[in-house]
Chains A and B, each alone.
Chain A
Amino acid sequence: MHNFDFVKPASVAEAVKALSADGAQALSGGQTLMPTMKQRLAAPTMLVSLTGIAEMKGVKVDGRTLTIGAATTHATVAKEAAAYPALANLAGGIGDPAVRNRGTIGGSLANNDPSACYPSAVLASGATVVTSKREIAADDYFQGMFSTALEEGEFITAVRFPIPDRAAYAKFDQPASRFALAGAFVARFAGGVRVAITGASEGGVFRWAEAEAALSSNYSADAIKGLSLDPSGMIGDLHGTQAYRANLARVMVQRAVAAS
């Protein structure tokens, strides 16, 4: 790993200032960024740790809204997001216990790995991504594999979730990496159902409109039995072909509906 300057600000304002430097990069739990730097796929000249900022940590409930500080670890969300059980459940299934003690929701969303779990929850819930500059609707935030609406120097400070009436996440994990081969988050609100798929598409997390329409009129696993996703554009690799992932994604939606 190339060397870099390390700074650990105590407030959002200090972090904004530190990140305005050339070559500066935000560091959260580091569970993805550090392996990436070891492989020299990233070589920032300065790392700005966001884990010492108290205002970016914790889980708060206000009526039917759950707000999670961006530097909150997966382990804390699993334990403290009881007001949104599907989300707590998702957080408790990421990686392994040691990874969950370091990795954070903000880090996962900023990275937007096409197989990460959190993006599906944020997109299916219609959550709001709160950054150091502005608020971004989930539908505008995810812009393809490893790509987001975040600008240079901008970082996530919190995520605000409306709590659905019913929701569940189902993932089929790749047993070695424990990332999703395909994962589906289904959230049912009074206004309709939202379905987000992760792990399957080369375009990263996406909403499945046909499944949303079918489930909005009939909320049952059978309602989407006859639907299929177009395999072109799906990830095809040694773990599964494009057709396999397209099918697996539908099965995960059915399992999520049955579990919610």
Chain B
Amino acid sequence: MTKVAMTVNGKAVSGEVEGRTLLSAFLREGQGLTGTHVGCDTSQCGACVVHVDGKAVKSCTVFAADVAGSSVKTIEGMANADGSLGVIQQAFQDHHGLQCGFCTPGMVMSSAALLAENPKPSEQEIREYLEGNICRCTGYHNIVKAVLAASGQDANAIAAE
């Protein structure tokens, strides 16, 4: 066991980990931040996406020890300071960008990474950026609408499918 320290959602945290401890496990089991979901545990589904030093990564495929000293942001860090939903979260609610909601934390984190890089993405760019996030309810259409709305664009401009 070794001790690792990192910043999570702006707060300094530390914990004892094994070499094999995944970042997803460190967050969920070590820090009680169960908003980060583990869907497939094989880096395909994207439910576990968090930001490490501002970049979206699949936390089930990163060792906690490998990101010691980094700044990590999870879905719990996306709400506003007063606890109300952040812009992207609110857009997902407004446009019903979720059905069962299991993939939503990863969808929101990937969308936030996209909008940080590209503040006004096209529908095509949104679909391409979310390629690594799978919604098994197949609720993609409303997810894309939510991201368009969160970027201040007209969500109703995309064709109904």
Query: What is A's interface to B at a CB cutoff of 8 Å?
Result: 1-6, 8, 27, 30-31, 34-35, 37-38, 47, 49, 51, 75, 95-99, 101-102, 176, 178
Chain B, Cβ-Cβ closest to A5: B19
Q: Are A99 and B66 in contact (CB under 8 A)?
A: no
Query: Given the interface contacts A4-B20, A6-B66, A8-B66, does A31 sit within 8 Å of B113 by beta carbon?
Result: no
Partner of A97, one of B2, B42, B62, B132: B132
User: A161 vs B43: C-alpha distance in the bound complex, in angstroms?
Assistant: 30
Tell which of B52-60, B78-86, B136-144 binds the partner: B52-60
Chain B 3-38: CB-based contact to A (< 8 A → 1; otherwise 0):
000000000000000111000000000000000000
How many Å from the CB of B140 to the closest CB on chain A? 14
Chain B, Cβ-Cβ closest to A1: B20
Chain A residues, CB < 8 A from B65: 6, 8
Query: What is B's interface to A at a CB cutoff of 8 Å?
Result: 2, 18-20, 41-44, 46, 49, 52, 55-58, 61-63, 65-66, 68, 110, 113-114, 129, 131-133
Interface majority SS (helix, strand, loop, mixed), chain B? mixed
User: A47 vs B62: C-alpha distance in the bound complex, in angstroms?
Assistant: 13
Partner of B63, one of A30, A35, A96: A30
Chain B residues, CB < 8 A from A49: 63, 66
Chain B residues, CB < 8 A from A178: 131
Chain A residues, CB < 8 A from B110: 97-98
Q: Are A3 and B43 in contact (CB under 8 A)?
A: no
Q: Are B43 and A35 in contact (CB under 8 A)?
A: yes
8 smallest beta-carbon distances between A and B, as pairs: A96-B132, A6-B19, A101-B55, A96-B131, A4-B19, A6-B65, A98-B56, A1-B20
Chain B residues, CB < 8 A from A47: 19, 63
